[in-house]
């Protein structure tokens, strides 16, 4: 885990139109941090760049479609 400042997080443009499902992401040298921007406790999930790359690849390949 690594330190991420609130100012480093960017809210998804999709989330701006869907306020109940807000996702914020911070891309840093150490990896990627993701959190629910509505979560006042600011619980954060951390990914290495390889893990994030695998996730994005899965999204692009529709591996997570319901």
pLDDT of residue 25: 92
pLDDT of residue 66: 75
Sign of the Cα torsion 36, 3, 50, 53 reads positive
What pLDDT, in 10s, does the model give residues 3-57?
Answer: 899 899 998 777 667 767 788 899 999 999 999 888 878 789 999 999 999 999 9
- Taking the domains of the chain in order of start, what are their residue ranges? 6-60
pLDDT of residue 1: 67
SS3 state at 57: helix
* Main-chain dihedrals φ then ψ at residue 43, nearest 5 degrees: -60, 135
Residue 2 has pLDDT above 80, yes or no: no
């Amino acid at each position: 885990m690594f330190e991420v400042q609130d100012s480093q997080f960017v809210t998804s443009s999709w989330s701006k139109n869907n306020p109940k499902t807000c996702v914020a992401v911070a891309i840093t040298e150490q990896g990627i941090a993701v959190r629910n921007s509505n979560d006042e406790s600011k619980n954060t999930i951390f990914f290495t760049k390889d893990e994030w790359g695998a996730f994005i690849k899965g999204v692009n390949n529709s591996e997570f479609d319901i």
